[in-house]
């Protein structure tokens, strides 16, 4: 197990991609902090399943958009496990808003999207930095999206927030070097409950992808694991996991 005795914090770890990352890291021997803001029951279920399989995990509540709660999350991680090796910034929020309905993109949607998707990862990386710098091989993986490559996605501001996260990944890769690597994954459509996409969206997306399917949460988790533990000479990079949509997109 490549992550034996390593400690990982996964924000938004209770559902979807975050859950898959928690399960994958735990299967590789990591002690996993399953962060959640509201999905407490789901987070505790993830912890229970990891524990039943012989792993070690803990559910810790913190809203990543609130700095004090983020600092508490990192403090609790250190108190429980003694340090931190991997931070996966997966927590995100969006409310589907058709792009052409500009007046429906309210200040409330702007604020919550940016606070969760952009300010939150900043808070987490800043709070985690002292812990990560202590451990050789430590790294950060930010879960972004292919939306910045297309300008598409659940909302205009969602795409913008993820573009900002890709930029911030490069900034933190410089700031944290050489002790800590910082990379990102950019998933395409993944069948989760995020943003409440209707079923036909996934069917259409699969038909448009060169691989004729959409990626799975488990495939995204595998890419996160690769960047966290195996890609030892990569930093400031983004790996797309989208069944080939962006790379093979027709002009």
pLDDT in tens, 192-237: 887 677 888 889 889 989 999 999 999 999 999 999 999 999 999 9
Provide the whole-model pTM. Answer: 0.96
Q: Mean pLDDT, to the nearest integer, of 175-180?
A: 98
Does the annotation count 158 as an active-site position?
Answer: yes
Q: Mean pLDDT, to the nearest integer, of 2-6?
A: 96
How confident is the model at residue 250, as a pLDDT? Answer: 58
CA angle 226, 153, 205 (to 5 degrees): 75
CA atoms within 13 A of residue 32's CA, in its CB half-sphere: 36
Q: State the catalytic residue, choosing from 86, 123, 149, 158.
A: 158
Cite the beta strand spans of 109-237 per DSSP E.
139-143, 181-187
- Judge whether 36 and 93 are in contact, CB under 8 Å: no
Which contiguous run of DSSP H or E holds residue 81? helix 67-81
How confident is the model at residue 195, as a pLDDT? Answer: 66
Percentage of residues of the chain with pLDDT beyond 70: 99
How confident is the model at residue 198, as a pLDDT? Answer: 83
Percentage of residues of the chain with pLDDT beyond 90: 90
Evaluate if residue 104 carries a pLDDT over 90.
Answer: yes
On average, the pLDDT of the chain sits at: 95
Q: Mean pLDDT, to the nearest integer, of 104-122?
A: 97
3-state SS class at 136: coil
- Beta-sheet pairing, 139-143 with 31-36: unpaired
How confident is the model at residue 135, as a pLDDT? Answer: 97
Q: Give CA–CA dist 110/113, Å, rounded.
A: 5
How confident is the model at residue 251, as a pLDDT? Answer: 42
Domains annotated for the chain, with CATH where assigned, are 7-241 (3.40.50.720)
Q: Mean pLDDT, to the nearest integer, of 117-136?
A: 98
pLDDT in tens, 133-166: 999 999 999 999 999 999 998 999 999 999 999 9
How confident is the model at residue 164, as a pLDDT? Answer: 98
How confident is the model at residue 194, as a pLDDT? Answer: 79
Which contiguous run of DSSP H or E holds residue 112? helix 107-114
**CA neighbor of 13 nearest in space, from 166, 165, 143, 128:** 143
Evaluate if residue 81 carries a pLDDT over 50.
Answer: yes
């Amino acid at each position: 197990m490549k992550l034996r005795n390593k400690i990982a914090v996964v924000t938004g770890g209770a559902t979807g991609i975050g859950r898959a990352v928690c399960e994958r890291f735990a299967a590789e021997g990591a002690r996993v902090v399953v962060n959640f803001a509201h999905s407490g029951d789901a987070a505790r279920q993830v912890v229970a399943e990891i524990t039943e399989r012989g792993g070690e995990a803990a559910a810790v509540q913190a809203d990543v958009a609130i700095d004090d709660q983020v600092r508490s999350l990192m403090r609790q991680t250190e108190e429980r496990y003694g340090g931190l090796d991997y931070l996966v910034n997966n927590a995100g929020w969006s409310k589907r808003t058709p792009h052409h309905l500009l007046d429906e993109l309210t200040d409330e949607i702007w604020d919550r999207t940016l606070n969760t998707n952009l300010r939150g990862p900043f808070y987490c990386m800043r709070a985690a930095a002292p812990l990560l710098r202590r451990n050789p091989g430590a790294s950060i993986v930010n879960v972004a999206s292919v939306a910045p490559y297309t300008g598409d996605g659940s909302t205009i501001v969602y795409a913008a927030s993820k573009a900002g996260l890709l930029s911030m990944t490069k900034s933190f890769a410089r700031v944290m070097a050489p002790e800590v690597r910082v990379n990102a994954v950019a998933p395409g459509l993944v069948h989760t409950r995020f943003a409440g996409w209707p079923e036909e969206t996934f069917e259409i997306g699969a038909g448009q992808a060169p691989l004729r399917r959409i990626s799975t949460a488990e495939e995204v988790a595998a890419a996160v694991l690769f960047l966290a533990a195996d890609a030892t000479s990569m930093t400031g990079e983004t790996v797309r996991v989208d069944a080939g949509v962006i790379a093979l997109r027709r002009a």
